[in-house]
Amino acid sequence: MRAGAVLRLGAAAAAATALLAAGCAPLLAPRGPAPTSFVWTDTGRSAPAAQPAPVALLLAPTQTASFSDTQRIVFSRTPGTRAYYQLAQWTDRPGPRFDVLLLERFSQRRAFAQVTPMTSGTRGDALLAVTILDIYHDDSRPPGTVRLEVSAELTDRGGRALLARRTFVREQQVAAESAEAAVAGFDAAVTSLLDELLPWVEAEAARATPSRRP
């Protein structure tokens, strides 16, 4: 075999080996640690109302600001910035999880004749719409604080007339610079926020429908 042919075969073999190695590199590279998934938890409980009001309340799906509408936990190291935790995440996106926490609290409280998700197709007398405006760990001064800001709107049946609107803000000190401590802060923040949100909804719904109170 001629020397030129041998050189060409050797170059081709080397190129094929390089391509194979490049293609397999992602499969052969060791995997990093998997992120830990945390359940956003309401640690409080609402005592049952003395007597439920004859009002059917509908709960609209909770909306979330776009950057936070993810299972990834958001943090900030400098003012005006946001980033995601790499090794910690939520089991559910904040909006759907807040829906669950809110419905559970209303079920404990039993202050209305009926509380159901708007998506159930049932009719209601009032509609509660919640938007999570901000939910993040402010780590600019470690271990930092968690911030939860929620807007709530109560409208009449069909959402044609605004009955009441309010913004709820909670800032909770984080005990240590860790994902576990930050999540504990988020749990405390949502618990405190729901403690205030439910009585507000009850009072505004009763004020808007005085003729229907028992």
H or E stretch at 20: helix 3-28
Total Cβ atoms within 10 A of residue 173: 11
Total Cβ atoms within 10 A of residue 167: 10
DSSP-assigned beta bridge partners for residue 169: 149
What count of Cα atoms within 13 Å lies in the side-chain half-sphere of residue 17? 6
For the chain, the three-class secondary structure string (H helix, E strand, C coil) is: CCHHHHHHHHHHHHHHHHHHHHHHHHHHCCCCCCCEEECCCCCCCCCCCCCCEEEEEEECCCEECHHHCCCEEEEECCCCCCEEEEEEEECCCHHHHHHHHHHHHHHHHCCEEEEEEHHHCCCCCEEEEEEEEEEEEECCCCCCEEEEEEEEEEEEHHHCCEEEEEEEEEEEECCCCCHHHHHHHHHHHHHHHHHHHHHHHHHHHHHHCHHHCC
H or E stretch at 113: strand 112-117
Domain ranges of the chain: 1-30, 36-212
DSSP-assigned beta bridge partners for residue 89: 37, 72
| Chosen CATH of 36-212 out of 3.40.50.10610, 3.30.420.40, 3.40.50.720, 3.40.50.620 | 3.40.50.10610
Q: Which residues of the chain have pLDDT under 50?
A: 1-29, 211-214
pLDDT tens-digit map of 49-102: 999 999 999 999 999 999 999 999 999 999 999 999 999 999 999 999 999 999
Q: Residue 144's pLDDT is what?
A: 97
